[in-house]
Amino acid sequence: MKMPRRTLICMAMAASGLAMGAAVSYGTWWLAGVALIPVLAVSRDMPLRRTWLPGAAAGAIQGAMLWAWIGSSTALLDAGMWPGILMTVLLALCRAAWTGCFLLAFEAARRLMARRSCEPCMLVSGPAFWVILEWVYEQFLVWLGLPFSATLGYSQAWNPVTVQVAALLGVHGVSFLLVFLNVALTGWLAGRSAEPSVARAAARLSLIAAVVMAAAWGGGGAARLALARRDSATDLVRVAILQGNIPPYLKYDKSKSNELAQRYLRLGAQANAHRPQLVVWSEAAIPWPFEDDDDLGSAMLEATRASQAYHVVGAVSRSTLPGGGCHNSAFFIHPDGRVTARYDKVGLFLFTERGLKRPGQDAARRLHPSSRYLVPGRSLAPMDTPFGKFGVNICNENFYARRVRRSVRDGAGLLLNLGNDIWIRNDCVLKQHFAANVLRAVENGRDTIMSNNPGISGIIDKWGRIRMTSEPRTAVCQPGSVMMRSGQTVYTRTGDFFIFLCLLAATIPLLIRVIPRL
Separation between Cα atoms, residue 469 and residue 458, nearest integer Å: 4
- The 3-state DSSP class for residue 58 equals helix
Using only the alpha carbons of the chain, give its radius of gyration. Answer: 24
The answer on 137 and 14 residing in a single domain is yes
Contact 118, 124 (CB under 8 A): no
CATH number of the structural domain spanning residue 266: 3.60.110.10
Higher pLDDT, 248 or 354: 248
Higher pLDDT, 34 or 516: 34
pLDDT value of residue 171: 94
User: pLDDT, tens digit, for every residue of 327-346?
Assistant: 889 999 999 888 999 999 99
pLDDT-derived band at 360 (thresholds 50, 70, 90) equals: very low
The answer on 195 and 155 residing in a single domain is yes
The answer on 89 and 179 residing in a single domain is yes
Judge whether residue 352 has pLDDT over 80.
Answer: no
pLDDT value of residue 109: 86
Cα-flanking dihedrals φ and ψ of residue 145, to 5°?
80, 25
**CA 92 to each of CA 57, 83, 423, 446: distance values in angstroms, whole numbers, following the listed order:** 10, 14, 21, 34
pLDDT-derived band at 358 (thresholds 50, 70, 90) equals: very low
The answer on 197 and 83 residing in a single domain is yes
The answer on 166 and 30 residing in a single domain is yes
The answer on 192 and 271 residing in a single domain is no
User: How many CA atoms lie within 13 Å of 439's alpha carbon, on the beta-carbon side?
Assistant: 29
Q: Give the domain range for residue 178.
A: 5-229+498-514
The answer on 266 and 213 residing in a single domain is no
User: pLDDT, tens digit, for every residue of 93-131?
Assistant: 988 998 999 999 898 888 887 777 677 788 888 899 999
Separation between Cα atoms, residue 15 and residue 442, nearest integer Å: 30
User: pLDDT, tens digit, for every residue of 459-487?
Assistant: 999 999 999 999 999 999 999 999 999 99
Q: pLDDT > 70: what percent of the chain?
A: 86
pTM: predicted TM-score of the whole model, two decimal places: 0.92
The answer on 317 and 183 residing in a single domain is no
User: 421: how many CB neighbours lie within 10 A of its CB?
Assistant: 27
Q: Is residue 282 part of a domain?
A: yes
Q: Is residue 361 part of a domain?
A: yes
Q: Is residue 383 part of a domain?
A: yes
Separation between Cα atoms, residue 328 and residue 318, nearest integer Å: 9
AA identity, residue 92: A
Judge whether residue 509 has pLDDT over 80.
Answer: no
Separation between Cα atoms, residue 47 and residue 196, nearest integer Å: 21
Q: Is residue 492 part of a domain?
A: no
**CA 111 to each of CA 25, 86, 353: distance values in angstroms, whole numbers, following the listed order:** 33, 37, 47
User: pLDDT, tens digit, for every residue of 427-458?
Assistant: 888 998 999 999 999 999 999 999 999 989 99
Q: Is residue 493 part of a domain?
A: no
Cα-flanking dihedrals φ and ψ of residue 309, to 5°?
-85, 145
The answer on 286 and 202 residing in a single domain is no
Separation between Cα atoms, residue 146 and residue 362, nearest integer Å: 20
User: pLDDT, tens digit, for every residue of 379-438?
Assistant: 889 999 999 999 999 988 999 999 999 999 999 999 999 998 888 888 888 998 999 999
User: pLDDT, tens digit, for every residue of 239-266?
Assistant: 999 998 988 777 666 666 777 778 888 8
Q: Which of 214, 209, 130 is nearest to 172 (CA)?
A: 130
pLDDT value of residue 252: 67
Alpha-carbon dihedral 48, 50, 51, 55, rounded to 10 degrees: 160
The answer on 334 and 291 residing in a single domain is yes
pLDDT value of residue 370: 47
Judge whether residue 198 has pLDDT over 70.
Answer: no
The answer on 413 and 290 residing in a single domain is yes
pLDDT value of residue 516: 55
Q: pLDDT > 90: what percent of the chain?
A: 40
pLDDT value of residue 203: 78
Judge whether residue 368 has pLDDT over 60.
Answer: no
Number of structural domains in the chain = 2
Q: Is residue 308 part of a domain?
A: yes
Q: Is residue 138 part of a domain?
A: yes
pLDDT-derived band at 193 (thresholds 50, 70, 90) equals: low
User: 147: how many CB neighbours lie within 10 A of its CB?
Assistant: 23
**Average pLDDT of the chain to the nearest whole number:** 84
The answer on 187 and 320 residing in a single domain is no
Q: Is residue 43 part of a domain?
A: yes
Cα 313 off chain centre by: 23
Judge whether residue 78 has pLDDT over 80.
Answer: no
User: pLDDT, tens digit, for every residue of 287-325?
Assistant: 777 776 667 777 888 878 888 899 999 988 887 777 767
Q: Which of 164, 175, 173, 169 is nearest to 224 (CA)?
A: 164
AA identity, residue 390: F
Judge whether residue 4 has pLDDT over 80.
Answer: no
